[in-house]
Chains A and B, each alone.
Chain A
Amino acid sequence: MNIYLPIAEMSMNIFNLIGLGGIVGFLSGLLGVSGGFLLTPSLILMGIPSSIAVASQSANVIATSATGSMTHIKKNNVDYKMAFIVLFGGMIGSSVGVWVFTILNESSQLDLTVKILYMIFLTVIGLLMFWELGIAKIRKFKKIVVLKKLHKHNFMHRLPLRTKFKKSRLYISSLFPMIIGMVVGFLSALMGIGGGFIMVPAMIYLLGMHTSVVVGTTLFQGIFVSINATFWQASINHTVDFLLAFILIIGGVVGARIGSSVSSKLPADRLRIILASIVIFVSIALFVDLIMPPKEIYSIVSPKGAW
């Protein structure tokens, strides 16, 4: 059964789209990872133009971030002060990201940029996942217990605009979280991701935030950053296909529910290996797509979008 996507101006199999959203949602519910970094490249590999895939995925990120942050708000796991400072940077970053997106789209370089960015990030994520799994196995085997300091003092503590973050038990410069927000916001607009896979390690290892508030804070600010990116994408580039986003959201919601309900019954370690393998596989697929000689070296694009 096919569905016509009004903004992409193309017909796609609805079950493929629901299935893709469902698989990513399932992994998200099962392993607690945001699947955005898998969804956009998969859509591109399915033939959806990068501009539409990225912008529509931003709308999907709003829904997933809102769903996820509800739990954390209820559990009081959000550092609102930190979230608003990161958000301030995120708003600037995502607005600049949409502007760069427009320039790249007009010069026909968006596709290449998005693919290269995804290839790099997916390779890094995949390798880090394998690394983390390997280290955990070794520690378990050798029965090593690692005692961590709350956080290390580094250059951030010497920057101006130092602020107290009671919830995170930090006294650091506001500039650094703002810069992190800006970078993640920029990538979020350009790649259609929530940015959790960059923000979470940055908050833990660079800012030294307590892990209990990191995910909630990231998700909470992610709602507003993706709202900003989606609104500007719709307003300036006209590339948000709500029908596509809606199908992915529905698939994702159902998949996440199933994933979270079976998470305790399935071997998480093996699933993490599978996820890391999928991430590396998608990255390789993108790499092959970029280096293989194209079937046809010429292409035509209607300025309005599709053919």
Chain B
Amino acid sequence: MKIFVKIKLIFLLTILSFNVQASRHKKEFIEIHSHKLNIPVSIGFRGNTINIYGTTNIDGNIVVIIKGKNIKYRVNKQIKKKIFWVNKQITEIKNIPSIYMISTNKYVSYDRLNNFNFGLNSISPIIDNDKLSKDEKKEIWNKVKKLKQTKGNYHFKINHNNLKDRNSLFKATFNLPPNIKIGEYDIYAFVIKKNGDISDITQQKIFINRKGIIDFIYNKARYYPNLYGLIVVLLSLLIGLVSGYRKN
């Protein structure tokens, strides 16, 4: 299995090297390839590592970003009532990505990334709650960002490994957490040049899908809840009866 992965990696790097050779005549370029396009969430899933291999002829800070679909969350705040800490639902927050991971060669501030419409500062969450002031909404968004960072959903790493001198070949590694949402993810890559401009943005999609029994159970529970309920009840009853019969 490991040999197969190594062969695949060598093949990928060879293609990328050819691209470098072939692209020497081109003005500027940046290309990326994910070593996995489909990530299965199967029974033993506990997160996954994804390597993005890339090639470019541009000098500067290479930025690779993985962004999940925008979703909405319910924000709760724990307040103390008598002696117990009680959940209080404050608001709903919409239009925020499930995952936002950034990998760069060198440090770059969120404000700088925001100039190119990337980074956490470029996200415009929607909080439909007239009772909250602008400052309170800002505070809530900051708390949500912090929570997502703690859970490993939002993170910023300076971790590219340059595979060759200069930036011609590079690799960015991302650790996808076990709580990752199923769906389509966008990968963006670009270079912040030394003069401060950015290169063209290259984009690729990866898919995270449920597989096997996980997919079967989830789909039945979500889309055929009555049938699922019936199956669960019958199977539980059957196991109980068989076990009781054997016991007797």
Tell me the chain A residues, 255-300 only, with Cβ under 8 Å from chain B: 257, 260, 290-294, 296-300
Chain B binder among A103-111, A140-148, A173-181, A206-214: A103-111
Bound CA–CA A135/B141 (angstroms)? 58
A-B Cβ contacts below 8 A, count: 191
Given contacts A67-B247, A108-B74, contact A293 B85 (CB under 8 A): yes
User: Is B105 an interface residue when CB atoms closer than 8 A count as contact?
Assistant: no
Asked if A108 and B87 make an inter-chain contact with CB atoms under 8 angstroms apart, the answer reads yes
Binary contact track B214-248/A, C-beta < 8 Å → 1, others 0: 11011001100110111111011101110111011
Q: Of A11, A62, A66, A227, which contacts B47 at CB under 8 A?
A: A11
User: Is A120 an interface residue when CB atoms closer than 8 A count as contact?
Assistant: no
Q: Residue of B at shortest CB range from A69? A: B244
Q: Residue of A at shortest CB range from B147? A: A300
Bound CA–CA A65/B236 (angstroms)? 10
User: Is A96 an interface residue when CB atoms closer than 8 A count as contact?
Assistant: no
Given contacts A66-B240, A294-B78, A306-B179, contact A6 B248 (CB under 8 A): no
Bound CA–CA A306/B213 (angstroms)? 19
User: Is B144 an interface residue when CB atoms closer than 8 A count as contact?
Assistant: yes
Asked if B178 and A242 make an inter-chain contact with CB atoms under 8 angstroms apart, the answer reads no
Bound CA–CA A107/B76 (angstroms)? 10
**B88 partner residues in chain A, CB cutoff 8 A:** 108
Bound CA–CA A304/B158 (angstroms)? 33
Bound CA–CA A70/B74 (angstroms)? 45
Q: Of A7, A108, A230, A290, which contacts B89 at CB under 8 A?
A: A108
Asked if A298 and B46 make an inter-chain contact with CB atoms under 8 angstroms apart, the answer reads no
**B232 partner residues in chain A, CB cutoff 8 A:** 59, 230-231, 234, 240, 242, 245
Select the residue from B93, B213, B237 with max chain A CB neighbours within 10 A: B237
**B226 partner residues in chain A, CB cutoff 8 A:** 231, 234-235
Asked if B77 and A297 make an inter-chain contact with CB atoms under 8 angstroms apart, the answer reads yes
User: Is A307 an interface residue when CB atoms closer than 8 A count as contact?
Assistant: yes
**B79 partner residues in chain A, CB cutoff 8 A:** 297
User: Is A71 an interface residue when CB atoms closer than 8 A count as contact?
Assistant: yes
**B47 partner residues in chain A, CB cutoff 8 A:** 11
Binary contact track B179-209/A, C-beta < 8 Å → 1, others 0: 1010000000000000000000000000000
**B215 partner residues in chain A, CB cutoff 8 A:** 6
**B179 partner residues in chain A, CB cutoff 8 A:** 9-10, 306-307
Given contacts A4-B178, A62-B233, contact A68 B244 (CB under 8 A): yes
Bound CA–CA A231/B237 (angstroms)? 12
A residues contacting the other copy or chain, number (CB 8 A): 63
Given contacts A4-B46, A297-B78, A307-B179, contact A257 B247 (CB under 8 A): yes
User: Is A161 an interface residue when CB atoms closer than 8 A count as contact?
Assistant: no
Chain A binder among B10-18, B21-29, B36-44, B163-171: B36-44
User: Is B8 an interface residue when CB atoms closer than 8 A count as contact?
Assistant: no
Bound CA–CA A68/B248 (angstroms)? 10
Bound CA–CA A301/B241 (angstroms)? 38
Asked if B46 and A11 make an inter-chain contact with CB atoms under 8 angstroms apart, the answer reads yes
Bound CA–CA A107/B151 (angstroms)? 23
Tell me the chain B residues, 133-169 only, with Cβ under 8 Å from chain A: 140, 143-144, 147-148, 150-151, 153
Q: Residue of A at shortest CB range from B88? A: A108
User: Is A238 an interface residue when CB atoms closer than 8 A count as contact?
Assistant: yes
**A260 partner residues in chain B, CB cutoff 8 A:** 247
Bound CA–CA A52/B232 (angstroms)? 14
Asked if B240 and A112 make an inter-chain contact with CB atoms under 8 angstroms apart, the answer reads no
Bound CA–CA A246/B178 (angstroms)? 21
Asked if B247 and A70 make an inter-chain contact with CB atoms under 8 angstroms apart, the answer reads yes
Bound CA–CA A6/B83 (angstroms)? 35
Bound CA–CA A2/B177 (angstroms)? 14
Asked if B44 and A2 make an inter-chain contact with CB atoms under 8 angstroms apart, the answer reads yes
Asked if A71 and B248 make an inter-chain contact with CB atoms under 8 angstroms apart, the answer reads yes
User: Is B110 an interface residue when CB atoms closer than 8 A count as contact?
Assistant: no
Given contacts A70-B244, A298-B143, A307-B151, contact A109 B217 (CB under 8 A): no
B183 to chain A, nearest CB (A): 12
User: Is A74 an interface residue when CB atoms closer than 8 A count as contact?
Assistant: yes
A242 to chain B, nearest CB (A): 5
Q: Of B46, B71, B151, B247, which contacts A2 at CB under 8 A?
A: B46
B interface residues with partner A (beta carbon < 8 Å): 41-47, 71-80, 83-89, 93, 98, 140, 143-144, 147-148, 150-151, 153, 178-179, 181, 210, 213-215, 217-218, 221-222, 225-226, 228-233, 235-237, 239-241, 243-245, 247-248
8 residue pairs bridging A and B, Cβ less than 8 Å apart: A4-B214, A69-B244, A234-B225, A298-B77, A298-B144, A300-B76, A307-B98, A307-B151
A interface residues with partner B (beta carbon < 8 Å): 1-4, 6-7, 9-11, 59-60, 62-71, 74, 107-109, 111-112, 116, 223, 227, 230-236, 238, 240-243, 245-246, 249, 253, 257, 260, 290-294, 296-303, 306-307
Other CB < 8 Å A-B pairs besides A242-B232, A297-B77, A300-B74, 12 of them?
Answer: A4-B41, A60-B236, A70-B241, A70-B244, A108-B89, A112-B84, A234-B221, A242-B231, A299-B147, A300-B144, A302-B71, A302-B73
